[in-house]
C-alpha cells in the first residue's frame, strides 16, 4: 500500500499565525478570552482551544468585557470598533492575505467599480470584505447567480482567498463577455492554489483519495470537490474515525490532502488508521 501525501500539508500561514496569537493570549490566564465565531474552521482544533479556556461568542452582548481575538477570516470593521469602544482588548488575528483582499475591495469601490466578489455568500471572509468595502456589490457563487447581475458598465472583481481556480476563471470569462470595463484581482491565496494543484495531481494517480478537514471549511470542501471531479473514489473526512474498511478494499494507492486549517496530527491519525486497517 502506497500513501501519497499532498503538499503543502498542515496549517497554512494564516491559520498557524491565528493559532499562535490565540495561544499567546491564553498565557495571560485571563478568564474572558473570546473569539467572535470559531477562530478557524476546524472543529477538532476549536474544541482544544475551548478546553484551554477560549470562549466562542456570536455577538458582544451579554458577555463580560475581556480580550477579543478576531478570527483569521476577518470581521466587519464597525464591529471591531464597537468592541474597542465597549472596552474589549482587541487582538486582530485576521490573515494578512484576507486583509489585503479587504483593501482591494475597498479600493475598487472607491474607484467607482461595481464590486463583484466570487465566493460563498455567507462565508465570514466574504461578510468581512463586504463590510469593509461598504459599496454596491454582488457575490457570485456560481453560474446560477449570473442572471442577477445588474446592468453596470464598470465591474471590479475579487475572489474569496480559498476559491477554486476553475470557478474563478469561469465567472471571470462570463463577465468579460458582458461588461466593457473590468478590473480583476486574482486574490486566491498562493497556499490555496498549491493545495488545489497538489490535490488534482494526486487524485489522478491514486485509487482512493481522502481529504481531511472541517466539514465547515470552505477550502477543504473545495479540495474534496476537486478530488471528486477527477476521482470518484474521493471522501471528505474530519477525523480518522470516519475511514471505513471497505473504502480500502483492493486499493493500492491512497492519496491524502488536507485543508488549510487541518492540523498535521489529524493527517497522521488518518495515515495510522489506513495502515492499521491494511495490515490485517
Ligand atoms: S488559506 Fe490563505 S488566506 Fe486563508 S488563512 Fe490560509 S494563508 Fe490566509
Question: Where in the chain are the domains?
Answer: 2-10+191-278, 13-95, 97-188
Known active-site residue 61: no
Topology of 97-188 in CATH?
Cobalt-precorrin-4 Transmethylase; domain 1 (3.40.1010)
- Establish whether domains 2-10+191-278 and 97-188 are of one fold: yes
pLDDT 10s digits, 239-270:
999 999 999 999 999 999 999 999 999 999 99
At 280, the pLDDT band (50, 70, 90 cuts) reads: confident
Choose one of 124, 129, 161 to mutate for the ligand 1 pocket test, by most ligand atoms within 8 angstroms of C-beta: 161
For ligand 1, the distance from its centroid to the CA atom of residue 46, given in whole angstroms, is 17
Q: Is 59 helix (H, G, I), strand (E, B) or coil?
A: coil
Task: Please give the residue that has the higher pLDDT: either 143 or 110.
Answer: 110
Topology of 2-10+191-278 in CATH?
Cobalt-precorrin-4 Transmethylase; domain 1 (3.40.1010)
Give 95's DSSP letter. -
- 68, 96, 215 from 49: Cα distances, Å: 14, 22, 18
For ligand 1, the distance from its centroid to the CA atom of residue 246, given in whole angstroms, is 34
Spatial separation of the C-alpha atoms in residues 251 and 208, rounded to whole Å: 7
Q: How far apart are the first and last CA of the chain?
A: 12
ipTM over 0.90: yes
CATH of domain 13-95: 3.40.50.11270
Asked if the model's pLDDT at residue 142 lies above 90, the reply is no
Amino acid at each position: 500500500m502506497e500513501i501519497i501525501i499532498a503538499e503543502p500539508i498542515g496549517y497554512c500561514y494564516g491559520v498557524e499565525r491565528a493559532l499562535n496569537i490565540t495561544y499567546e493570549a491564553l498565557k495571560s490566564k485571563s478568564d474572558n478570552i473570546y473569539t467572535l465565531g470559531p477562530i478557524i474552521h476546524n472543529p477538532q482544533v476549536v474544541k482544544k482551544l475551548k478546553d484551554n479556556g477560549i470562549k466562542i461568542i456570536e455577538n458582544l452582548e451579554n458577555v463580560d468585557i475581556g480580550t477579543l481575538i478576531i478570527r483569521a477570516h476577518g470581521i466587519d470593521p464597525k464591529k471591531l470598533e464597537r468592541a474597542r469602544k465597549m472596552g474589549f482588548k482587541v487582538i486582530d488575528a485576521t490573515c494578512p492575505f484576507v486583509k489585503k483582499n479587504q483593501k482591494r475591495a475597498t479600493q475598487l469601490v472607491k474607484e467607482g467599480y461595481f464590486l463583484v466578489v466570487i465566493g460563498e455568500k455567507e462565508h465570514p471572509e466574504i461578510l468581512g470584505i463586504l463590510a469593509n468595502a461598504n459599496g454596491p456589490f454582488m457575490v457570485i457563487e456560481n453560474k446560477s447567480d449570473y442572471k442577477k447581475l445588474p446592468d453596470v458598465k464598470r465591474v471590479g472583481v475579487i475572489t474569496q482567498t480559498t476559491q477554486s481556480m476553475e470557478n474563478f476563471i469561469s465567472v471571470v470569462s462570463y463577465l468579460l463577455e458582458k461588461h466593457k470595463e473590468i478590473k480583476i484581482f486574482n486574490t486566491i491565496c498562493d497556499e490555496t492554489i498549491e493545495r488545489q494543484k497538489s490535490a488534482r495531481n494526486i487524485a489522478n494517480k491514486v485509487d482512493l483519495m481522502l481529504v481531511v478537514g472541517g466539514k465547515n471549511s470552505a477550502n477543504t470542501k473545495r479540495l474534496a470537490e476537486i478530488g471528486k471531479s477527477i476521482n470518484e473514489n474521493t471522501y471528505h473526512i474530519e477525523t480518522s474515525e470516519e475511514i471505513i474498511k471497505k473504502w480500502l478494499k483492493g486499493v493500492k494507492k491512497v492519496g491524502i490532502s488536507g485543508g488549510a486549517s487541518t492540523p498535521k496530527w489529524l493527517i497522521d491519525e488518518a495515515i495510522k488508521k489506513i495502515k492499521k486497517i491494511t495490515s490485517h
